[in-house]
Amino acid sequence: MAREQLKGKNIVITGASGGIGAEIAKLCGASGANLILLARSIEKLKQLQTELQQKHQVRVDIYQVDVSDTDKVREVFSEIIAKIDYIDILVNNAGFGVFREAHEATMDEIKGMFEVNVVGLMACTSMVLPKMRERRFGHIINIASQAGKIATPKSSVYSATKHAVLGYTNSLRMELSDYNVLVTSVNPGPIATNFFNIADEKGTYVKNVQKFMLQPEYVAGKVVDSMLTKTREINLPRWMNMGSVVYVLFPRLFEKIGKKAFNKK
């Protein structure tokens, strides 16, 4: 389904080589958007670029970048802006997680998750803010997680990064409200993607929650439908988001009852 409001818009997607990033790119391409795709895997980006150009005859530029490298982020975004002048929509999708108990997490893993999930997201956002504020137009979409609302065992570091993303996103929304720049957080539960190849090495978590897993195409559709609309948050699935409401109201009870249910990683 084409989204007419996206035709001709310049859309940057980080972490676009697979999962929901690639699915978002496909839907935006079908709507006639100009795509700028960023990821670490240039080969996967090249394949996606060819597919989208052949299928939809849209402009697709690709850049190899690890968002944890803030100097490279600055370099790439400067090149993008010099080429196309402005970015209409930024989707901060790049991220990863490792599920371990706090005492087992290495400092490299801790730093890595924060550098990609938080600092990298902020670095990308900071590069588009001046022009969006100047034009008084734009949309920043940050892919967070239900883990940013409900902390669970064995995801202390990952949950901390997503809490940070939500805090940043909520502040950013208020800062930009007078500039007509939209800010949306996306808080999905587990999605059936390669994310768990790293996060869940033993496959225990995937096995336990497989029947609840969201499909990347479904999540991507919800994200694309929200583009250039005043959607504050996207919470998927809805029943899981109800848990975060209960958590806020009755945290002690929730942690006591939910500990066993959530300790499936």
**Catalytic residue set:** 158
Contact 64, 43 (CB under 8 A): no
Contacts of 56-62 with CB under 8 Å at 24 or more apart are 56/29, 56/30, 56/32, 58/29, 58/32, 58/33, 58/34, 59/34, 59/35, 60/25, 60/29, 60/34, 60/35, 60/36, 61/35, 61/36, 61/37, 62/36, 62/37, 62/38
- Gap between the Cα atoms of 196 and 206, Å rounded: 7
Alpha helices (H) along the chain: 19-30, 42-56, 70-84, 107-114, 121-135, 156-176, 195-199, 204-209, 216-226, 238-249, 251-262
